[in-house]
Amino acid sequence: MAEQRRGERDVTRDAWDGGGAPGSGARDPAGEVARAWDELVATARRTVADGLVVGTSGNVSVRVGDTVLVTPTGVPYERLTPGDAVGVDLDGRQVFGSLRPTSELPMHLAVYRTTGARAVVHTHAVHATAVSTLVRELPLIHYMAAALGGAVRVAPYAPYGTPELAESMLGALTDRTACLLQNHGTVAHGATPAEAYDRTAQLEWMCRVWLTASSVPGRSPTLLTHEQVAEVGERLRGYGQRPER
């Protein structure tokens, strides 16, 4: 249920004020906050549509300057509107919004304090969560591990929403853009919500491939070496279209 904090404005009664940050009393002439919230909501809904999240089990955040927009706790993503926007500072103090932020806020803030990430996606994707219960590191089943920085580690279990979980996650994310959380799910970050989502989906796909290959009786999947994955990582630096001069 939505909760109103003392001294906060009810943003459900606030319009975007021509691009203003909802409920903050400040202007947002470029509409950056409004666009970021729209991207956050679209990404959150995509995690549900693509089967990476059931109900409200995941969360998404976007950093705009020193403000972090986050999905509110316990609210189905299809119900989110501009008036439901929630923003906190890097210390976790709520700066606008009447809804409580996600319970996994410590994990999101830990990523922003220690990396250059601008977006974070956390899910309970089924194949990734299954793998998190079996190994300490996702076996190198596919070269696209290089797109996540190398072999994907599993952060040791800690209760959800705790500083202990955030600390465990940071260890697994060292030099990586995604990790697994033991008996819990996934975390991925990027420069945009779309990039963080794509890394999440890539991780879930690799986990599914490994589980599928490992399930064949009497056979063990062929794995790549760390050197082979590192070589792909170098090649990926020049991957994609280059802007015309």
Residues marked active site are found at 104
Rg, Å, the chain Cα set = 19
Residue in 135, 155, 157 with CA at minimum distance from that of residue 223: 135
Name the percent of the chain in helix, strand, coil, to the closest 5: 40, 15, 45
Under a CB-based contact definition with an 8 Å cutoff, are residues 47 and 200 in contact?
yes
- Residue 124 to residue 47: CA distance in whole angstroms: 10
- Residue 158 to residue 77: CA distance in whole angstroms: 26
Alpha carbon separation from 62 to 110, 111, 192, 236, 238 (Å, rounded) = 13, 11, 8, 25, 27
- Residue 146 to residue 115: CA distance in whole angstroms: 18
Retrieve residue 192's tokens: 């945009």
Other Cβ atoms less than 10 A from the Cβ of 185: the count is: 23
Under a CB-based contact definition with an 8 Å cutoff, are residues 88 and 144 in contact?
no
Under a CB-based contact definition with an 8 Å cutoff, are residues 53 and 123 in contact?
yes
